[in-house]
Structure 1
Amino acid sequence: MARALFSLLSFLLAVLPLCYAATKTFTLNLAYSTVAPDGFSGRMMLANGQIDYPISVNKGDDVEITVVNNLDVATTIHWHGIFQKGTPFMDGAGGVTQCPIQPGATFVYKFNVGDQTGTYWWHAHYKSQYVDGLRGPFIINDPSDPYKSQYDTDLTVTLSDFHHKPSQELLNYYFTPNEGAFEPVPDSGLIGGAGRFNCSFAPAGSTCKDSNPLTVYNVVPGKRYRLRLINTSAMAKFNFTIDGHNMTIIEADGVYTNPTVVNILPIHTGQRYSVIVTANAPTAIGNFWMRADINNLWDPAPWLAGGLNPQVRAIWRYQNAPVVDPTTQIATDLGFDVYSLGELNGIAVGNNPSWNSSIYLDFFIGPLGDQNITTATTTLSGPPDWTSVQYLMPSVPSLYTAQQNQALPNSSAPIPVDDGSWVYIEIHNDDAMEHVFHLHGHTFYVVSHGRLLHAPTATATLARRDSIQVPSCVGGHGGTGEQGCLKGFLGILVNFNNPGTWLMHCHMEWHMAAGLVVTFVNNAGLSSVDFPSGFYDQCNAPTKKTKTKKTKATKKHRSAAVAA
């Protein structure tokens, strides 16, 4: 009897928080603001006048977020990494799950975060607008965090490349005929919303301040800090480190991981990690560089010609330390294999679920056609099978088309999947750089990786992610890759148990804009989804004529200092 009562009590404690979920409400007022996060003054699209406006909720919460579009362009907001179980129409991918929010209009996103916990982010998912500043952290706190006893303070650290020109101008450049497929190079990098630009490269007549204040993270000796790292870049991959300190990884993309000690952590755009750092430097009072060094992904383009300093910095400052820049040095890399970062208490290697079907995906990025315009295409061996399909945003949302049991156009690169099925997806990369792929609405297990014909590395448990890089191609003519090189590959296993239309795309924004996208269509279970009445009426709503609203950035436009 006692055992039965204990089991009942345990069950009630588990389900009651979900039955009585709190409703958290937020408002994102989108408007233009003039800011200078790296010292160069320019216009950004911001929410509530703040760079990296944060949203924080708890496990099981209902969330209502009102988006007020005071911009002069349409937009949508995506909740990166959130499954949207039962609410696929709230995923926020423009042209996929909803029509854009027109200028002057308001839209309310309503969803439940379910059992998800960890580190996520929100960002515009329409015409590369998150590059202009429409982005911020989305944190789901876990009352049952298995690592809670191992840290004292929880901090969020955003990492981003930063462009002075608006995204539309950058896209126009990228798609210029005969341009050569060189991706736009950022002007600087930001940690916690702040960085430094070399003002000697600023155009004549612009406003720029050298030695811009960096973000400072104030710490107390002996305290343990959970840092939630989020790469919100258009393209940059960072190597993150804090001089003189090791880091223990405990989470990746909202999934608890086996504790893994590193001192330099590579992080691609769209990815998130939580690390625990103890303020235990031998010098109890001092300043240490926090580094996010940008990898060169633009070769052979002259990526430093415009003034970019790839050595992005913030300051890790101990209590009572002098207010000066650090002079510390970076340590020798301990090494880190992203594919071996297994899930805590996850699926053991060798116990992989059996899959129902296999898909093999190749892609191309480069100039095509008579005008040599940059284009990205995918080639699929499935079924379905196709060759050189460029994704184009549909005029009618894909989810609406699927709900009507109609076929998506070929330009949506549709891949039908059975509800509940397991699918093995192998992505091949013949490019000389890594490409990071993100899947909406799901996580996936990493089951193989490497270069074709090479064996994968074994780990204790499988890694589970929603954003992961495909290894680059190596070898070939002159060792430059791309011509006769050994292709990189990534094998992932997905359980498509979430009805909806879900994008999988390269999260290097320029590549997505060029068409490196596919759409997984799980419409067999859409009959169980409760669509709001008249949800797609907004697609026929006329554009409101409204004056562009411009706001001053608030004092919170960046974190000048973060208290211990």
Structure 2
Amino acid sequence: MQLSPSLLLLALLHSVHGATVMAPAAQSTQFVTLDIVNGPVSPDGFTRIGVLANGTFPGPPIVATKGQTLVVKVNNKLTDNTMRRSTTINFDGVFIDADNVFNDGSPFVTQCPFGPGESYTYTLPLGEQTGTFWYHSQLSVQYSDGLRGTLVIYDPEDPLAHLYDVDDASTVLTVADWSHNSSVAGLASYISTLIIPVSDSGLFNAKGRYNGGPEVEYAAVSVAKGKRYRFRLINMSVRANFLISIDNHTMTIIEADGVATVPNEVNILTIFPGQRYSFVVNANQAVGNYWINAIIDSGNPAHNLNLNVTLSRGILRYEGAPNAEPTAPMGSGPTGAAAVPLNEYDLVPLDPIPAPEPDFRVTFDTFMPDLAPAMWEINNSSYVSPKVPTLVRVLEGDTSKFNQSENTFLFPANKTVEITILDTTDEGHPFHLHGMNFWVVKPNGTDVVNTVNPIRRDVSVTGDTNLTVRFRTDKPGPWFFHCHIFYHFAAGLGSVIGAGLDEVGKTVHPTEAWEDLCPAYNALPPSEQ
């Protein structure tokens, strides 16, 4: 059988990209199986039991191509009662159609978690979406224990392909914070002490070091002199933002959270939890080894003496260079006049879409009282998961009243909402919207409001100036909108956007498997929830 040119291109892409999915790239559906297990893991040389997809950290990379449908079967095989044994999976940044809101993976908003011995299959039509994404447990702070992995949707007709020569499995990069204690212990400590856990180490491509620990070999990224590489960087942290630079090299940003951007050359960037960037690096330096600086830029190291941010890094290794660490000092990247940082307000989408005028304007005032237990607030209310998921109530016709602690903001369908987030504590909250993108009309760090060509993305950070975003309510359903520092989220810094909830029953028809989730979960003993 002779493949058509388009199918041949897809087949070649998957040969190059090292696909980890079961179906061949020419198929319209990609099938993936994730077995969620407890097992040993030691990315920084300290061995602990984690919550792992297919027994690895990160979990297996998921690869798809524009236009396909992603079908992910998740088998819960967790056995360790010292950690959460139920789970849900969210595919960060992947658009969710309105009629598919029940596959968003948001516990107690769009589904009940599923317990040990149970399975659930997520079906995600990808449509025209492309770019860099990831998946993780959405339950409490469970992904701190290791349940996180990469997801890339390739575009055979990428309009920026002329800028790079290589874009494959070897150019997908991750940074993550890592803790030696379980997420359950970390969250309990935070709630009781108000001191957010500081990680034991920072990881680059799942490798790192901590003070006094073994000298784990740094992850090396191989390049050939003269070639241009599209690196896809994902911050899979529970709390930490990272300061990224590569000695003697610049980075040309071409994507933010799945949105192609006008090329923007920088030499240092900050990436917050949940964010993703693609950047092009030209391997045009002398053959050798160069530090990839991945410095944790948040938290107080005094709260965990294991953490040494200097030890958080990787190596850019040219073909022909020795298998050795760079001889240059371990730095933190360009500073002062030499620094050309990435500013979010400088990002311009390759396909600009003006931000529509808002029908509703809302202010989120974020605050945490200086009293234990730790509870973050939005407009004087801390988010607490309801016992009955929001979507279940909506489908049952019960949309008349939500408890204050559900932080559910109701808007009619097909309207534009503007939310301004006030960060009075200057914590730097990376706010993430499920199911769709928002327009960042006023990023942190500027007072300029841009409605003509603002960047569209799904994670943007607050700071010393207010953050203002706009989005459409043309996808009826309940959608999480929360801080992606999951310790903050678990302590109340979350909300639900109720978009056109009176329209949900007309389009949303969940599967029988989804309907069985809540009765099964409610029947579990607490040790298995």
| TM-score of the pair, normalised by structure 2 | 0.87
1:60 corresponds to which residue?
Answer: 67
Work out whether residues 294 and 311 of structure 1, in 8 Å CA contact, stay in contact via their aligned partners in 2. Answer: no
What does 1:214-229 align with in structure 2 at a 5 Å threshold? 214-229=218-233
Q: Distance in 2 between matches of 1:292 and 1:459?
A: 33
Higher share in helix: 2
AA aligned to 2:177 is D
1:433 corresponds to 2:427: yes
Which of 268, 287, 298 is residue 296 of structure 1 equivalent to?
298
1:443 corresponds to which residue?
Answer: 437
Q: Distance in 2 between matches of 1:521 and 1:304?
A: 39
2:157 corresponds to which residue?
Answer: 144
What does 1:49-128 align with in structure 2 at a 5 Å threshold? 49-52=55-58, 53-72=60-79, 73-85=85-97, 86-128=99-141
Q: Distance in 1 between matches of 2:239 and 2:441?
A: 25
Structure 1 residue 27: deviation in Å? 0.5
Work out whether residues 291 and 315 of structure 2, in 8 Å CA contact, stay in contact via their aligned partners in 1. Answer: yes
Structure 1 residue 525: deviation in Å? 2.8
What is the SS of the residue equivalent to 1:45? strand
Which of 375, 390, 406 is residue 412 of structure 1 equivalent to?
406
Change in 2 beyond 3 A, CA 1:291/1:534:
closer
Q: Distance in 1 between matches of 2:319 and 2:369?
A: 51
Structure 1 residue 104: deviation in Å? 1.0
Q: Deviations over 1:383-433 (max 9, x none)?
A: xxxxx1111111111111122221333221111111111011111111133
Q: Deviations over 1:363-388 (max 9, x none)?
A: 112444xxx21111111xxxxxxxx1
Work out whether residues 415 and 519 of structure 1, in 8 Å CA contact, stay in contact via their aligned partners in 2. Answer: yes
1:536 corresponds to 2:515: yes
Work out whether residues 66 and 108 of structure 1, in 8 Å CA contact, stay in contact via their aligned partners in 2. Answer: yes
Q: Distance in 1 between matches of 2:199 and 2:161?
A: 37
What is the SS of the residue equivalent to 1:525? helix
Q: Distance in 2 between matches of 1:422 and 1:268?
A: 26
Q: Distance in 2 between matches of 1:460 and 1:277?
A: 29
1:360 corresponds to 2:363: yes
Greater Cα offset, 130-139 or 321-330: 321-330
Greater Cα offset, 517-526 or 504-513: 517-526
Structure 1 residue 450: deviation in Å? 4.8
Which of 460, 471, 476 is residue 468 of structure 1 equivalent to?
460
Where does the alignment leave 5 or more consecutive residues of structure 2 unmatched? 1-25, 80-84
Q: Distance in 1 between matches of 2:374 and 2:524?
A: 34
1:553 corresponds to which residue?
Answer: none
Q: Deviations over 1:257-313 (max 9, x none)?
A: 1110011011000000000111111x1x20000111111334xx7245334335411
1:133 corresponds to which residue?
Answer: 146
AA aligned to 1:171 is L
Work out whether residues 236 and 274 of structure 2, in 8 Å CA contact, stay in contact via their aligned partners in 1. Answer: yes
1:475 corresponds to which residue?
Answer: none
Which of 384, 391, 396 is residue 392 of structure 1 equivalent to?
384
AA aligned to 2:321 is A
- Count residues with an aligned counterpart: 481
Q: Distance in 2 between matches of 1:27 and 1:352?
A: 38
- Alignment identity in percent? 36
Q: Deviations over 1:43-65 (max 9, x none)?
A: 11111111122101111111111
Structure showing greater radius of gyration is 1
What is the SS of the residue equivalent to 2:217? coil
Which of 162, 168, 182 is residue 178 of structure 2 equivalent to?
162
1:508 corresponds to 2:485: yes
Which of 456, 466, 476 is residue 489 of structure 1 equivalent to?
466
Work out whether residues 289 and 327 of structure 1, in 8 Å CA contact, stay in contact via their aligned partners in 2. Answer: no
Change in 2 beyond 3 A, CA 1:458/1:341:
same
Change in 2 beyond 3 A, CA 1:307/1:84:
closer
What is the SS of the residue equivalent to 2:136? strand
Q: Distance in 2 between matches of 1:163 and 1:534?
A: 34
| TM-score of the pair, normalised by structure 1 | 0.82
Q: Which has the higher contact order (CA 8 A, sep 6+)?
A: 1
1:277 corresponds to which residue?
Answer: 281
What is the SS of the residue equivalent to 1:375? coil
Greater Cα offset, 525-534 or 150-159: 525-534
2:22 corresponds to which residue?
Answer: none
Structure 1 residue 131: deviation in Å? 0.7
2:476 corresponds to which residue?
Answer: 499
AA aligned to 1:122 is Y
What is the SS of the residue equivalent to 1:302? helix
Q: Deviations over 1:21-69 (max 9, x none)?
A: 7110010011112121111111111111111221011111111111111
Structure 1 residue 498: deviation in Å? 1.1
